[in-house]
A and B are shown apart, each in its own frame.
Chain A
C-alpha cells in the first residue's frame, strides 16, 4: 500500500536530478515562475481536498456533538456546542433499546462470520485443489451467485422462511447473510489457496497427513491474511445490512441495529439527543474496524469489487 521510504527517497532523488537538469537548460527566472505556479495550484488542490474532507467529517462531527445536546438546543442552536453536555443521552439510549439491538447485531454478525469462514474456506479448498467436470460446474454455480441480488429474492425468501418457520428469528438473517456472502468469500479464498505451493501438501501427504489435516493444518494457517479480509468484509456487511433485517424481523426484541434504529426513532419522537446517541453507538464498531483493519478491508473490497 504505502510506498517504502526507500522508494520515496529514490523518487525524490530522480525528481531533484531532473530539476537541476531543467534549471541548467532554462533560465533561472522561468523555472522560478513555473515552480510558483505549481505551488499555487498545489495549494488550490489541497484546499479542495481539505474542503471535501470537511464536507465528509462535519455531519459526523455534528452528529457526535448534537448527541450531547438537549432537544431544545439541537433545534434552536444548530451550530453551537452544547451549553450543558448531556452525557446521560448515551446511557438513556443504551437502556432504552440500543443495548438489545447491539447484542442482536453482535450475535448475528459473529454467527455469520463463523459460518462464512468455515463453509467458504471448505468450498474454496475443494475448488482450488481438485479438477473435474463437476468441480467446474460447482465453480460456475458459485461465481454465478455474485450476480444474484437480495432485492430480487426478497419475496420468495420471505415465503420460504415463513414456510421453514424461521421468519422473525435471527436464523432468518444469519442463513441468508451467509448465502449472500459465500460467493465472494469463496472466490477470494480460492484465489489465495491457488497460490499455495503444491510441494507443501505433497510432503504433508508423505508424512501421513489426511485430507482434512491438509485443510486444517496447512491451508487455513497459511491463509490468515485472506481470512481476516473475509472476516472484516462479512462483519461490515452483517453489521450494516438493512433490507433483510427490516423485512424478516418483526419483533422489536430481535431487531439488529440498522432496523432497530428505525423503531428507536419512532419510539423517541422528539428525543433527538438520545436518537443521535444511539446512532453514534451504532457507528463506533465499524469506524474502529476501519481504523485498525483498513489494509485488510481495502484489499477485500478491491479484489471482490462488489458493493456491500
Chain B
C-alpha cells in the first residue's frame, strides 16, 4: 500500500507542470516547425503544403537581412553597455569608498527594470518627440540644437534610438547581477592585493574579472539572446519603421503573421529566430550548470 502510494504521488505532483510545458511550450515549438512548410492565414481552415519555399524566400528577403543586422547591432551595443559598462559600474558600487551611497544608487539604477516596457516606450516617445521632446529641448538648451533630429522618424537614427532606450532600461539589471557575483568574491583576495600594493585598476583586472568570469559569460549570453529576440521595444516605438529601418526578426515575424496574414512565412521567420537563440541558450545552460545538484 505504502509503496504504491509512494509511486503515485510523485507522478501526480509532476504531472500538471509536464502538461503545461508540453502543451504551451513544446507542442507550439514543433507546430512552428511544421507550420514553416505550409501557406495559411489566421482563420483559414486549410493549410497548403509548400515545402521549403518559405525558407527559400527567407534567404532572398532583404527585410530579413535588415532585421538580422539590426538584431546584431542591438547585441553588440548591448554587450558594450550592459555587460562591460555594467561590470565597471558594479565594481565601483561594491568598492568600500562608496559603501554609504551604493545601496541607494543600486535601487535607483534598478527602477527602470521594474517598469513595464509599454510605460517606458511611451515615455521615450515623449523624450524623442521632434516638437517638444526632452532630448531635442535639451540639445537646444546646451547649444547643440543643430544635432536635434526626429530620432524615431529618421531611418538612420531610428534603430539607435530604440537601442538607446533599451540600454537605459536594462543597465541596472545586469549591474545587479554583477553586484551579486562580486559579493561572492572572498574579501581576502582584495586584502592581499592591497598589502601587495596593487591599485584599484590592477585589482579589477587581476581579481574581479577572473572571479566573475562565469557571471560575465552568462550575462553576455543573456544579453545577446535578449537582443536576438527583441520585440516590444521596436514594436511599440517604431513598429519597425520608418520603412523597415528599425525592423527586428521578432517584429517582422509578427507583421508577417498577423498583419500580412502570411502565417506560414511568419513561422519560417520564427524558426530562424529559434535556431539563432537556441545555440546561445544551449551554451548558457552548459556554462551556468542550471539545475545541477549542489
State which of B112, B122, B270 has its C-beta within 8 Å of the C-beta of A56.
Answer: B112
The bracket for how many chain B residues form the interface is 35 or more
How distant is B26 from chain A, measured CB to nearest CB, in Å? Answer: 7
State which of A120, A178, A180, A283 has its C-beta within 8 Å of the C-beta of B119.
Answer: A283
Q: Is the CB of B99 within 8 A of A8?
A: yes
Does A259 sit within 8 A of B, measured CB to CB?
A: yes
Q: Is the CB of B291 within 8 A of A49?
A: no
Chain B, range 62-76, C-beta contacts under 8 Å to A: none
Q: Is the CB of B177 within 8 A of A282?
A: no
Give A76 to B105 CA distance when docked, in angstroms: 32
Q: Is the CB of B173 within 8 A of A301?
A: yes
Give A305 to B217 CA distance when docked, in angstroms: 11
Tell me the total A-B contact number using a CB cutoff of 8 A.
275
Give A186 to B35 CA distance when docked, in angstroms: 30
How distant is A304 from chain B, measured CB to nearest CB, in Å? Answer: 8
Q: Could you tell me the dominant secondary structure of chain B's interface residues? A: helix
- Look across to chain A and name the residue whose beta carbon is closest to the beta carbon of B274: A152
Chain A, range 95-128, C-beta contacts under 8 Å to B: 119-120, 122-123, 125-127
Does A153 sit within 8 A of B, measured CB to CB?
A: yes
List 22 A-B residue pairs with CB atoms under 8 Å apart, sorted by A's residue number: A1-B183, A2-B103, A18-B195, A45-B92, A56-B108, A60-B111, A120-B17, A123-B14, A126-B14, A147-B277, A147-B285, A151-B231, A155-B35, A155-B267, A156-B29, A158-B257, A182-B21, A243-B231, A243-B232, A258-B117, A262-B118, A279-B119
Starting from the known contacts A52-B109, A242-B236, 9 additional A-B residue pairs (CB-CB under 8 Å) come to A119-B16, A122-B14, A152-B32, A153-B28, A153-B32, A160-B23, A187-B291, A191-B291, A240-B114
Residues of A at under 8 Å CB distance from B?
A: 1-3, 7-8, 11, 14-15, 18, 42, 45-46, 49, 52-53, 55-57, 59-60, 62-63, 66, 74-76, 78-79, 119-120, 122-123, 125-127, 129-130, 135, 138-139, 141-143, 145-149, 151-160, 175-176, 178-180, 182-183, 186-187, 190-191, 194, 210-212, 215, 236, 239-240, 242-243, 247, 257-259, 261-262, 265, 272, 275-276, 279, 282-283, 286-287, 289-291, 294, 298-299, 301-302, 305-308
